[in-house]
Amino acid sequence: MSILVTGGAGYIGSHMVLALLEKRFEVVVLDNLSNGSAVSLERVAELTGRDATFIEGDIRDRELLDALFQRHAISDVLHFAGLKAVGESVEQPLRYFDNNVGGAVTLCQAMQSAGVRRLVFSSSATVYGEAEVVPYHEGLPLGVPTNPYGRSKLMVEEMLRDLGRADCRWSIALLRYFNPAGAHPSGRIGEDPQGIPNNLVPFITQVAVGRREALSVFGNDYPTPDGTGVRDYIHVMDLVEGHLAAMQAIAERPGISVWNLGTGRGYSVLDMVHAFEKAAGCTIPCHVGPRRSGDLAQYWADATKAERELGWRARRGLEAMMADAWRWQVSNPAGYAS
C-alpha cells in the first residue's frame, strides 16, 4: 500500500515525503507545481536513498485522480495541496475557493469511488477566527476567519465533518497548524516562497542573505510584552512527525478527529529576530511599520490534546528552527533556483 501526498513538492509536503520515505512507506506525490518544485523531490530522494512516485497534475482533475487510484493501491491520503497566500486570496477569492474547496471536493469524490477513506487534512489555526482566549484549544467554537484563504480552510473542515457524519467509514484528521517554520537539518530542502515572502521567517532569512533590505515589523503597539505580534512557531520536522502520529491514530479511529499542531508557546516578532541573529551570527536590519490589516495581537496553541491522544509533541526549540532555516537559506540563497 502507498500513501498519497497531495502538494508533496511544496514546503511542508516535501518534508512529509522525506519523513514517510525514511519510515519505509511507499509514497505517491501529486502536485501541479503551481507553488512547488520537482527539485525538492530530487533532494528528498538524495537524502533518503529512496524515490517517491511523482505525478505532475491537479487535484481538481477527476480523470487523473481516478487513474491514480486505479494504478496505485492507496491506503491514506495526506492532503497538503492548496493555495496559501492570504493577501492574494483577498484579491482572487474565486481562484482560492476553486483550488482549495473545489480541489478538496474532487479529491474526496475520487477517494470515495476508489474506496479510500483515510484522510489527513492540512487545516490552520486561522479557523479559530479572532478568538479572544489564548491558548486556542480544539473545543473552541469555530470562528470567522478574516480572509478568503481562511474561509476556504473552514469550508473544507465543515465539508469533511459532513462527510464523516454521512458515512462512518471515513477516518479524517483535521490538523490545525500554527506557524510552521524551519527546514530539514541537512539544509537541502526548505521553504522557497515565490516573490516577496508573506511569512516572517522566510522574510528574515532573505534579509540575511541580502535578497531584501530590511524587515518591516508590522506594528509594535500590540498589547503584548514587547508590543509586537506573538505566534506559536513550530518546526516543520515536528509538524510532519505530528502527521505520522495522526495518520497512525486514525487507522483505528473512525470519524473526525481534530488536533492542534503547535508547541504551546508564543514568541514575539522581536523574539524571532533575536533568535535568528543568534543562530546566524548576523544583524537583521529592522524598522517598525504599521500594523498589517487582519493580524491578531497574539495566539498560540493548547497542544495538550495531541500529546494526550497521539503521544506527540513538538520537540525542537527556536534555536534549532532558526539554525535550520538559516542553513537552508544560506546554502540556497535563491531557493531551488540556486
Q: Closest approach of Cβ 82 to ligand NAD, in Å?
A: 3
Q: Is 128 near ligand NAD (CB under 6 A)?
A: no
On whether the CB atoms of residues 180 and 236 are closer than 8 A, the answer is yes
| Orientation angle between helical segments 148-166 and 103-114, nearest 10 degrees | 20
Sole window of 27-35, 161-169, 218-226, 289-297 interacting with ligand NAD (rule: CB under 6 A): 27-35
Q: CB under 8 Å to 152, separation ≥6 — which residues? A: 82, 89, 96, 97, 100, 101
User: Nearest to residue 124, comparing CAs of 260, 20, 33, 218?
Assistant: 260
Determine the distance from the C-alpha atom of residue 221 to the mean position of all C-alpha atoms in its chain, rounded to a whole number. Answer: 28
Q: Residue 38 and residue 192: Cα distance in Å, rounded?
A: 12
On whether the CB atoms of residues 198 and 147 are closer than 8 A, the answer is no
From the candidates 11, 96, 128, 149, give the one annotated as an active-site residue.
Answer: 149
Q: Is 77 near ligand NAD (CB under 6 A)?
A: no
Q: Which of ligand NAD, ligand WQD, none binds 217 (CB below 5-8 Å, type-dependent)?
A: ligand WQD
Q: Is 13 near ligand NAD (CB under 6 A)?
A: yes
Q: CB under 8 Å to 163, separation ≥6 — which residues? A: 108, 170, 172
Q: Which of ligand WQD, ligand NAD, none binds 11 (CB below 5-8 Å, type-dependent)?
A: ligand NAD
Residue 307 CB-density burial (10 A; 0-12 exposed, 13-18 middle, 19+ buried): middle
**Residue selected from 56, 130, 162, 295 as contacting ligand WQD according to rule CB under 6 A:** 295
Q: Is 122 near ligand NAD (CB under 6 A)?
A: yes
Instruction: Name the amino acid, one letter, at 157.
Output: E
Q: 72 in helix, strand or coil?
A: coil
Closest-approach residue to ligand WQD (CB): 229
Q: Is 260 near ligand WQD (CB under 6 A)?
A: no
Annotated catalytic, 11?
Answer: no
Sole window of 7-15, 199-207, 257-265, 277-285 interacting with ligand WQD (rule: CB under 6 A): 199-207
Give whichever of 25 and 96 is closer to ligand WQD, judged by the CB atom: 96
On whether the CB atoms of residues 215 and 203 are closer than 8 A, the answer is yes
Residue 301 DSSP symbol? B
Give the footprint of ligand NAD on this chain (CB under 6 A). Answer: 6-7, 9-13, 30-36, 58-60, 80-84, 99, 103, 122, 124, 177, 180
So which residues are the catalytic ones?
149
Give the footprint of ligand WQD on this chain (CB under 6 A). Answer: 84, 86, 124, 126, 150, 179, 198-200, 203, 215-218, 229, 231, 269, 292, 295
